[in-house]
Structures are given as C-alpha cells and as structure tokens.
Amino acid sequence: MQQQHKVEWAQVLRPAIISIIFFTVLTGALYPMLITGLAQVIFPYQANGSLITDAQGNVIGSALIGQEFSDPAYFWGRPSATSPVPYNAAASSGSNYGPLNPALIGEGGLIQTRIAALAAANAAAGVTVSGAIPVDLVTASASGLDPHISPAAAEYQVLRVAAVRGLDAAVVRELVAQHTDSRTFGLLGEARVNVLELNLALDALEGT
C-alpha cells in the first residue's frame, strides 16, 4: 500500500513540476523577450517611454508625463497633486478631495489659489481674458501626470503667452493648432494639446 502511494504521488508531482518549469520559462522569459523585441522593432519610440530630446539629443521629458510650468511666457499644464513634487511619476495620485472639500473650493483653497495665479499672470502680461477659466487649468487629474490640456485651456493662455513673448496672438494660436491632437481614431477621448511639445515649439519659434 505504501509503495502504491509513492507511485501515485510521483505521477502527480512529475507533471506539476514540469508544467511549472515550462510555463515559467514560457511566460516569465520567452514571452517578455518576444514582446520586448517586437516593441523595439515596431514601436521603439513608445517602447522606450516616448522620450523628448532637445537639439543636442539630451532627454528633457516624456510626451506621457506632464511637467510644471509657472513662467508666464509658457503654457501651463494641468495642476498635479502628486507628492512630494508635482508630476512625480513614482507616486501617481490625485488629491482625493471631494468636490465640496473646503481645501479644494473654500476661500484660499486650491482652486481659488490657481485662479488667482492665472489672473495675476494675465495682469502682469497686461492682457484681459474674458470667459470662464477651463476646468482643467484649476483642477488636478486622478493621476497627477497629465501631459495634455484641452484646446480651450490653451486658448485661454494664448494672449498672455503672446504678450510676454512679444508675438502676434495669431502666430501663437496657429502653433497651438499645430500641436492639437484630435480624438484617437476619431472616436476615443477628446482633442488635446501636449504642453511640453507646445512650449518647446514656442522656444524653437523664437530661436531660444
């Protein structure tokens, strides 16, 4: 009887161990190597992080991760609530404040502070912008990493950026249009403007 049990356990363990080894090699090594290799051949830009480089080839950011801009000569992106610094890709998160949280909407709250910063930048540039401030300029996203703003958010900043840089607003507006991506496949998401790419194009336009 004891010998019979040993035989039965061997019959169970042997295929189990072989299966573990086989699928470990297949899914833990061969499959990742295949997908990584295909990605490097077919989509090398995306597979390596959609990195953006300057004229000297230095990496200055990613098309997928926002950056903080506070200089009025540049377009500002969507606020970030990541910690300990904005747009921290290692700690993607939102503020988790509810829509009625005083820290968000109260006097001196985050939204009022951001509205005041935009108003101050417009005043310093000597421009008056009519209409409501687009919501994505004063509210952080759930990820805190958004590299894009809406076309409305870009339009709201055109006069300020043009005035600070001494450019015609029509020139800046055309640059925004050139860097506005439409819905993916014409169906998914919304039109959007990559802030870093737009700001780099502004600098290139001025030769700075």
Distance, in Å, from the CA atom of 45 to the CA atom of 32, rounded to the nearest integer, reads: 18
- Name the nearest CA neighbour of 99 among 91, 83, 110, 88: 110
Which pLDDT value is given to residue 97? Answer: 86
Q: Band of the pLDDT at 16, cuts 50, 70, 90?
A: confident
Which pLDDT value is given to residue 98? Answer: 84
Which pLDDT value is given to residue 55? Answer: 76
Q: What percent of the chain shows pLDDT beyond 70?
A: 94
pLDDT digits (tens, 9 = 90+) for 29-68: 999 999 999 889 898 888 888 888 877 888 888 888 989 9
Quick check: helix, strand or coil at residue 188? strand
Which pLDDT value is given to residue 21? Answer: 93
pLDDT, averaged across the chain: 88
Residue with tokens 């503020």: 95
pLDDT digits (tens, 9 = 90+) for 74-105: 999 999 989 899 999 888 888 888 888 888 88
Residue 161 pLDDT exceeds 90: yes
Name the strand (E) or helix (H) holding 113: helix 110-125
C-alpha dist (Å) from residue 183 to 150, 188, 190, 192, 193: 12, 5, 5, 8, 11
DSSP states of 22-58: HHHHIIIIIHHHHHHHHHHHH-HHHHTT-EEE-TTS-
Which pLDDT value is given to residue 50? Answer: 82
Which pLDDT value is given to residue 186? Answer: 78
Q: What is the mean pLDDT of residues 188-208?
A: 86
Token duo for residue 118 = 């935009």
Residue 175 pLDDT exceeds 70: yes
pLDDT digits (tens, 9 = 90+) for 132-147: 999 999 999 889 999 9
pTM of the model: 0.79
Which pLDDT value is given to residue 207? Answer: 57
Which pLDDT value is given to residue 6? Answer: 57
Q: Which residue has the higher pLDDT, 159 or 185?
A: 159
DSSP-derived letter for residue 132 is P
